[in-house]
Chains A and B, each alone.
Chain A
Amino acid sequence: ETGVTQTPRHLVMGMTNKKSLKCEQHLGHNAMYWYKQSAKKPLELMFVYSLEERVENNSVPSRFSPECPNSSHLFLHLHTLQPEDSALYLCASSQDRVPGNTIYFGEGSWLTVV
């Protein structure tokens, strides 16, 4: 098992669909993150969870809804998305919230909104 596992790897959804991205970390970390990576733009931090509590939400639209049921699992629930939401969504974890901790990323979930 790799350290941070994301499913599905690829997802195509219509603008009226509801879907979820799943992330699981096997590293015993306390902090988990969702990042968005769009073409030719820097990675954007979306959400941060520390000890299962959401500690940061970087002005992300409400059509993205995170859930962290325990320290090993993180979900990103998607509904009524827009085509511009098509991107690579990366989950990451670290021992504690940065600074100073190495952050480990999953392989990402490629999302296409049609």
Chain B
Amino acid sequence: KQEVTQIPAALSVPEGENLVLNCSFTDSAIYNLQWFRQDPGKGLTSLLLIQSSQREQTSGRLNASLDKSSGRSTLYIAASQPGDSATYLCAADNTDKLIFGTGTRLQVFP
């Protein structure tokens, strides 16, 4: 049974710092790994999708990497801004079902 863990659970940093959010999964037989952002009281917004054959994906200041063999993915946020404050969730996609972690709650203060 796939289990997804995200560390840390919460993170508070000053503006401008480069950040790394971690995601680990127990079953490496995944189709892809997805990262989402959730603002308080809102739905999820898809940020990046990494196919199992890929090592990383980039979108603006965001870069996500995938290491299937070790069961890990990282989301790198460059030059963080207060507008990046949100909860970030990763989800492993196998057996055509997304399994979510509990998220990392990020606060970026000015």
Q: Which A residues are closer than 8 A to B by beta carbons?
A: 4, 6, 40-43, 45, 56, 88, 90, 92, 97-100, 102-108, 110
Contacts and interface: CB of A to CB of B under 8 A. Distances in A.
From DSSP, what is the main secondary structure of chain A's interface residues?
A: loop
Given A42-B100, A45-B98, A92-B44, 5 more contacts: A99-B93, A99-B94, A100-B93, A107-B43, A110-B41
Contacts of B102: 40-42
Contact of B43 (A97, A98, A102, A108): A108
Contacts of B91: 43
B99 interface: yes
Contact of B42 (A40, A56, A103, A108): A108
Nearest to A88: B41
Report which residue of A41, A43, A102, A106 has the largest number of chain B beta carbons within 10 angstroms of its beta carbon.
Answer: A43
Contacts of A105: 36, 43-46
Q: For chain B, which range describes its interface: under 10, 10 to 19, 20 to 34, or 35 or more residues?
A: 20 to 34
5 contacts: A43-B44, A99-B31, A99-B32, A99-B96, A100-B93
Nearest to A9: B41
Nearest to B9: A40
A90 B44 contact: yes
Given A42-B100, A42-B102, A103-B98, A98 B45 contact: no
Contacts of A6: 43
B49 interface: yes
B4 interface: yes
B51 interface: yes
B23 to A, nearest CB: 12
Contacts of A106: 43
A106 B42 CA distance: 8
A43 B89 contact: yes
B31 A42 contact: no
B101 interface: yes
